[in-house]
Amino acid sequence: METDTVSETIKMWIALDDNERKLRAEAKEINEQKSQLSKTILGFMRDNKVDKFALEGHGEGTLSRSVRTSTPPIKRANMRKQLFVFFADQPQKVTEFLREIDTPQPTADNKQGGLKQRECLMRTIPKTKKAIL
């Protein structure tokens, strides 16, 4: 590539990066507003025992409330503790097992043991302090 072509490509990349940052900021603002409105709507639905709104005249479909219960993921420290408790008579085996889990294993297509490298281009812009109104 010639210097002029690279220079022009960089300018186009920076323009696209600026546009992407602007759109992300707008999307973040929209998501914050939507989150606040969601809290209000969910509070109303919970308090009035309403599980679904039909969106006639305001769009199509329904707006529904559901409650889900989930279990937190297993933490590594808890897993270690439980393994040592369950296999108290075989601490050496537990240690070997945990060491094997913690060590990435090489595969046929990845000689580095499960670690993948990815090349990317990133632009950092110094943060500016916002004026206090």
Predicted local confidence at residue 32, as pLDDT: 96
Q: Whose CA is closest to 42, among 30, 61, 34, 55?
A: 34
Predicted local confidence at residue 26, as pLDDT: 98
98 sits in which H/E element: helix 91-102
Q: What is the pLDDT along the chain (133 residues), one digit of tens a residue?
A: 588 899 999 999 999 999 999 999 999 999 999 999 999 999 999 999 998 888 877 667 888 998 888 888 888 888 888 988 989 999 898 888 888 887 776 666 656 556 667 767 777 777 776 666 5
Total-model pTM: 0.57
Structure tokens at 115: 């670690």
